Structure 1
């Protein structure tokens, strides 16, 4: 789990917590989440120093979160600042509003990106993100 955290990225704490939630799921819960989401998010965050960090939320095959580019083609790549990701994860910012104001950009299936909000919310219910 500690391999998910990255120095200088607050969002990595959230992603590590998300990974812990996925790890705590029973096989049935994991299968249900995979069935519901059925896709891969590649998250690219830029921190205050302009450095980029890449994480993958795989809800297509493994039901896991890991640091680095997606091992298979992601359904969507989401690009945003570390700060914007934190606001999304805490519910202070709506994903659609972030997209409309240019704080969030996507590559790939834009409609699939809307599922990230649900993933964060369901995980938030299980853990304190």
Structure 2
């Protein structure tokens, strides 16, 4: 999956798959229990986007639109998604700047924090 994607975010999302099967991932599923869809574009929101679903009900990550209605859909540029996911950009600031667009439940969106992502592994 990550090999065929031009997105830098794809590698982080691959790590997320492994993270969900860990103990920390299982805690997230208990704590959050929501379905997030991420529409991530290389350069401009809405153009050539790749869609990923992080299902924190089932503990799964998949590529392609969610079959049903996700609790929240986020749209990002690749670099902005990475900045938010790694804690370099505050999600509220990203939203106010238009770097992140949200469709769906705002209360569910507020549970989206960098804490749900695995920390980049330091070698």
TM-score, with structure 1 as normaliser: 0.81
Taking CA–CA contacts closer than 8 Å with sequence separation of 6 or more, which of the two structures ends up with the larger relative contact order?
Answer: 1
CA contact (8 A) 1:4 1:66 kept: no
CA contact (8 A) 2:55 2:61 kept: yes
User: Higher helix fraction: Structure 1 or Structure 2?
Assistant: 1
Tell me which residue corresponds to 2:53. 56
Please report the RMSD computed on the Cα atoms of aligned residues, expressed in angstroms.
2.1
Q: Distance in 2 between matches of 1:103 and 1:36?
A: 27
Instruction: Please identify runs of 4+ aligned residues in structure 1 that moved more than 6 A.
Output: none
CA contact (8 A) 1:81 1:103 kept: yes
Q: Distance in 2 between matches of 1:41 and 1:4?
A: 19
- Note if 1:45 corresponds to 2:43: no
Query: When the two structures are aligned, how many residues end up with a matched partner?
Result: 119
Q: Distance in 1 between matches of 2:81 and 2:100?
A: 9
Runs of 5+ consecutive residues of structure 2 not aligned to the other structure: none
TM-score, with structure 2 as normaliser: 0.85
